[in-house]
Amino acid sequence: MFGKKGQGTTEYLIILAIIIVIALVVVGVMGWFPGLSAGITESQSKAYWQSTSPVGILEYSISGADANFILRNTSTKKVTVTSITLDGTDLGVPSTAIAAGADQNTSGTPPSCTSGDSYNYDVVITYNTTGGLSGAKVTGNKPLVGTCS
């Protein structure tokens, strides 16, 4: 009877440890830890980039030769997009003026992309506004995800 004083405490600690491990596995599967969960899907990427402000990417397609974008100005001022970079590579897009609330097509030369391969690019859009900002940047919190066409 005297030799089993700590047995209840030890059993309690073991059960608590098992519960914590199970909770960590569940949290990891649900995506709370970025390293344990998968990246975002193409539809999540599209939804994110359509909602960025003041310049959003409504649609995009990237092939080995071209990167095509439909950009939307969500601000109340005219915006001129001066550059778009994917993973630090400037696409060489022409200066593209977009009226307030309007959409505009633009294209450039993407980084290497093989047809059928998936891509995951960090995007930075540099722009100027009429009578305001010069060299401002939209730096996405989520990558541009898709399949090379």
Domain identity same for 84 and 142: yes
| Tokens 């109340």 sit on residue | 76
- Verify that 102 and 132 share a domain, yes or no: yes
CA angle at residue 75 from 125 to 50, to 5 degrees?
Answer: 55
DSSP β-bridge partners for residue 85:
90, 124
Mean pLDDT over the full length of the chain: 87
Q: Note the pLDDT of residue 38.
A: 54
Query: Which parts of the chain have pLDDT scores under 50?
Result: 36-37
Say which residue the tokens 């915006």 belong to.
Answer: 79
- Do 13 and 65 lie in one domain? The reply is no
Q: Which pLDDT does position 33 carry in this prediction?
A: 55
Residues 29, 56: one domain?
Answer: no
**Count of structural domains within the chain:** 2
Q: Residues 56, 71: one domain?
A: yes
- Cα 13 to its chain centre, rounded Å, is 41
Tokens of 71: 């950009």
Q: Do 74 and 100 lie in a common domain?
A: yes
- Same domain for 141 and 68? yes
Q: Give the C-alpha separation, 65 to 146, whole Å.
A: 15
pTM above 0.75, yes or no: no
Question: Residue 2: which residues within 8 A CB-CB, separation 6 or more?
Answer: none
Say yes or no: 56 and 33 in one domain.
Answer: no
Between the alpha carbon of residue 13 and those of residues 1, 3, 118, the distances in Å are 21, 18, 46
What is the reported pLDDT for 24? Answer: 86
- pLDDT (tens digit per residue) in 28-66: 776 655 554 457 889 999 999 999 999 999 999 999 889
Here the CATH number for the domain that contains residue 104 is 2.60.40
Cα 85–86–92 angle (5° rounding)?
Answer: 40
At residue 74, the pLDDT reads: 92
Domain that holds residue 31: 1-38
